Amino acid sequence: MKNKYFFGGFIIVVFFGIMGYLFTQTNIKYEEDFALIEKSSGTIKATGSWVKEKKYQIDKQNRIFSFYMEDHNGKELKVIYKGAIPNNFEASTSVVVTGKYENGKFYASDILTKCPSKYETEYEASQKTS
């Protein structure tokens, strides 16, 4: 009988521990203004566009991908990502990086790219012919 209470209590503690962890992980802030990112701490989702003129760099030996992105005000931010370049990176229209800003650089743990959609093109074409 005593083991049932112990086991039930253990399950409840694990459940609340997992819920607490998930709650702290979902408290990620989206930011489009890089000036504010430079002043913040913690994990952030930064939204901007890739600065194609500066090219991206790949360090295959250390598996590091880096590039520059800019916000809607034209402020640039160097992004460093430990991992491979996303498949559709060169075709992207905007980029969302999740990570932390430290020592003048944004260290990304995740990169999400948005590419132009064939449906957007079809819609724009239909609007011009209407």
Angle at the Cα of 31 (from 39 to 114), degrees rounded to 5? 140
Tell me the residue type at 98.
T
- Give mean pLDDT in consecutive 10-residue pieces for the chain, a chain of 130 residues: 76 80 66 86 89 92 94 92 89 90 93 75 51
Residue 4: predicted pLDDT: 76
Closest CA to 104 of 82, 77, 127: 77
Residue 120: predicted pLDDT: 55
DSSP per-residue string spanning 33-57: -HHHHHH--S-EEEEEEE-GGG--E
User: Which domains, and CATH codes, for the chain?
Assistant: 28-129 (2.40.50.140)
Residue 23: predicted pLDDT: 65
